[in-house]
Chains A and B, each alone.
Chain A
């Protein structure tokens, strides 16, 4: 059995309060194709969830629904007790608590690393420029690339860009961080530098939902692993149980395909 120190520390038994994220009976269609089928999920403060599954299983769509980059058609998405609705201004307010890191980094290529980080604090939170820059520098130090602050994103390696993207998301001081396959577009040599930053973030108690194929990361960091297929949550379990005793044949097949080759 694998040890999971983090998971034991962070999820005290008993009352865990109100979940920070609640997906209630959420369904979504692309045209007539149903990508998400009655998703129910509760995530509590400080929890770290890893979502895995074959491509096309709806895992990216699901976390993109959590900050409403994709809109769902049925059910509810509730963040910090507030449901996303038709009020655009209110939705933007709910979003401020959610940081997101993308597979393709999505840094702004026309702005320097520092400007990428200070943009949202200055324009969304109306923070004074000097304060925003100090904040950005402290977070760039946290992801260990303060020396790149004056460069443009395309001058950096993929791993460095992804770490900037993490720092940029953290600049808004989010309560929840979403990671959508953060290491899938990286060269193998750069995956670890990004995972190290994510592990450090997890250790600091951030609520995280990570879509990834990095199973070692899941084993080490996750409180729960969620396996999705065909738009449904097939199985969710703590990593030890998930990897050693998967209950469904579909999960077993998936794990055998990605773990043994």
Chain B
């Protein structure tokens, strides 16, 4: 017996020595690509037949699609008639979509002002990039500033018009925030210190006490704000009324605001519903149940047509704003229930441990409970975001030209009359792209946050 597990020693008095068997590799037919295919595709005769049938169906669907969308497609024509004369209905007629592309993306936004939209979105990307850069430590502050300060900058870029005193200050705050984000990113990556500290050093406060360094830092931020303020007063953008907004741009504005608002509002509502204070709990529950039990479309109608009836005659609330508020409140109610689900999955022991260590309510919520609850609920939260993104198509009902209604307008153009399938196909790709990216990001996030659960 060569691989015996027990080996006796010479002396009878000594205990037997236990030697565990070495592990052997798994049988080759069960591992690797071949093993996987054998187990999942060809495990039996019916299974093999189904695999072949499935492969055939997939092939014929995609060959049809590629024929229509690419091979038989018309790329140059003046109107839909020409397309039909060339290939009939066997190929797609893309020139209509290409011609309408700027409208599908920007709506009826004046052509010479479109750069403002591009600039606004690029600013957001630039604002968020430091979050993924190595060596940047103020990530929380940068993320918060993107949510709290960026919107002022963006809304002025998109809307333009006269700046009052308050708007001037807010825009200057936005500019300051943006400049600070990148300055602090650069200084933290190069010197490992936030911008304010580096400034304090440059101003000659490096040897001075903590409090002095802070005030130098604050002073440099104040100077930055003043410079921004002077710059901001120098330029003014022409006004573009929100009724010209449309297309993908409008869809992104509504869903972006809805998403950013719904998460914190949902957290507060969920906490409110679970609160031990009866009034807060009652109010939160009422709000959640009210907005959850009414279809979004009804809420949009209510806000659009009925809200003005309750307001004084001279108060006019912008139609887009009304739609955004409706979407936000609706999304918040749904998000609250998702987050409540996450809160319920946290064992009572976590609250008790936090209490026993002397953490206060908000400390245990922000440090212990929410990080775990949000992590558990990532798939559902992102699912809600995706749902919200697609639900924004409903604003077309109250007369806003989002991506969907813009694409419908193509087929109503006299030159492209009846051209509906191609624009729908195109926006399907856009919707898919955005939703797919969101879902991939959520999977990626889950994987990165799974560290604590890894054994």
- B371:A120 contact, CB within 8 angstroms: no
Contact of A108 among B368, B453, B455 (CB under 8 A): B368
Chain B window 413-455, contacts with chain A (Cβ cutoff 8 Å), 1 for yes, 0 for no: 0000000000000000000000000000000000001011111
A155's nearest neighbour on chain B, judged by CB, is: B455
Judged by DSSP, the binding face of B is helix
Once the chains bind, are B359 and A123 in contact (CB under 8 Å)? yes
* B371 contacts across to A, CB distance below 8 A: 110
For chain A, residues 149 to 163, give those with C-beta under 8 angstroms from any C-beta of chain B. Answer: 152-155
A154 with B454, Cβ < 8 A, contacts A95-B358, A109-B372 known:
yes
Q: Which of B349, B356, B451 gathers most chain A CB within 10 Å? A: B356
| Interface check A106, CB cutoff 8 A | yes
Whether the Cβ atoms of B352 and A106 lie closer than 8 Å is yes
Residue B355 CB within 8 A of the other chain? yes
The reply to whether A124 and B375 form a contact with Cβ atoms under 8 Å apart is: no
Bound Cα distance A107, B352 (Å): 11
B7 within 8 A of A: no
Q: Are A119 and B367 in contact (CB under 8 A)?
A: yes
Q: A107 vs B354: C-alpha distance in the bound complex, in angstroms?
A: 9
Bound: A246/B451 CA distance, A: 51
A-B contact count (CB 8 A): 68
| A108-B350, A152-B452 known; A95+B372 contact, CB < 8 A | no
The listed residue (A95, A108, A123, A168) touching B363 by CB distance below 8 A is: A123
Interface size class of B (residues with CB under 8 A): 20 to 34
Q: Is B57 an interface position by the 8 A CB rule?
A: no
B356 touches A111 (CB 8 A): no
B353 at interface (Cβ–Cβ under 8 A)?
yes
A106 and B453 CA atoms in complex are apart in Å by: 14
Give Cα A169 to B375, complex, Å.
26
Q: Once the chains bind, are A102 and B349 in contact (CB under 8 Å)?
A: yes
B353 touches A102 (CB 8 A): yes
Taking the closest CB of chain B, its distance from the CB of A165, in whole angstroms, is: 8
Question: Using a CB-CB cutoff of 8 Å, which residues 351-382 of chain B contact chain A?
Answer: 352-353, 355-360, 363, 367-368, 371-372, 375
* Residues 27-63 of chain A, each 1 if its beta carbon lies under 8 Å from chain B, else 0: 0000000000000000000000000000000000000
Which residues of chain B from 308 to 366 have any CB-CB distance to chain A below 8 Å in the complex? 347, 349-350, 352-353, 355-360, 363
| A132 at the B interface (CB under 8 A) | no
- Chain A residues numbered 104-118 whose CB sits less than 8 Å from any CB in chain B: 104, 106-111
Contact across chains for B353 and A108 when beta carbons are under 8 A apart: yes
Determine the chain B residues whose CB is within 8 A of the CB of A233 once the complex forms.
none
B453: chain A residues within 8 A (beta carbon): 109, 152, 154
Question: Which residues in B have their C-beta under 8 angstroms from that of A109?
Answer: 372, 452-453
State A154–B372 Cα separation when bound (angstroms).
14
- A110: which B residues are within 8 A, CB to CB? 371-372, 375, 449, 452
A172 at the interface (CB under 8 A from B): yes
Q: Which residues of B contact A111 (CB under 8 A)?
A: 452
Q: Within the assembled complex, what's the spacing in Å between the Cα atoms of A110 and B368?
A: 8
Select one of A67, A107, A155 contacting B356, CB under 8 A: A67
How long is the Cα–Cα vector from A99 to B352 in the complex, in angstroms?
12
Contact of B357 with A120 in the complex, beta carbons under 8 Å? yes
A106-B452 contact in complex given A67-B356, A69-B355, A96-B358, C-beta closer than 8 Å? no
Q: Is the CB of B357 within 8 A of A119?
A: yes
User: Smallest distance from the beta carbon of A42 to chain B beta carbons, Å?
Assistant: 22
With A69-B352, A154-B452, A155-B455 in contact, do A92 and B375 touch (Cβ < 8 Å)? no
Q: Which of B357, B358, B372, B455 has the most CB of A within 10 A?
A: B357
* B367 & A98 in contact (Cβ 8 Å cutoff): no
**Closest residue of B by beta carbon distance from A172:** B357
Find out whether the CB atom of A95 lies under 8 angstroms from the CB atom of B368: no
Contact A154 B455 (CB under 8 A): yes
Measured CB to CB, the nearest residue on chain B to A92 is B358
Q: Is A135 located at the chain interface by the 8 A CB criterion?
A: no
Name the residue in A120, A155, A168 with the highest tally of chain B Cβ atoms < 10 Å from its Cβ: A120
Cα–Cα distance between A38 and B347 once the two chains are bound (Å): 31
> Is A194's CB within 8 Å of the partner chain B?
no
Query: In the complex the two chains form, is A123's CB within 8 Å of B356's CB?
Result: no
Cβ-defined contact, B358 with A120, below 8 A: yes
Please indicate the chain B residues that have their CB under 8 angstroms from the CB of A240 in the complex.
none
A78 on the B face (CB < 8 A)? no
**Shortest distance from the beta carbon of B368 to any chain A beta carbon, whole Å:** 6
Binding site for B on A (CB under 8 A): 67, 69, 92-93, 95-96, 98-100, 102, 104, 106-111, 119-120, 123-124, 152-155, 168-169, 172
Chain B residues close to A by CB (< 8 Å) = 347, 349-350, 352-353, 355-360, 363, 367-368, 371-372, 375, 449, 451-455
Q: Can you offer 6 A-B residue contacts whose CB atoms are under 8 A?
A: A67-B356, A92-B360, A102-B352, A104-B347, A109-B372, A111-B452
Known: A106-B350, A110-B372, A123-B363. 7 other contacts (CB 8 A): A67-B356, A99-B356, A102-B349, A102-B353, A109-B372, A109-B452, A169-B356
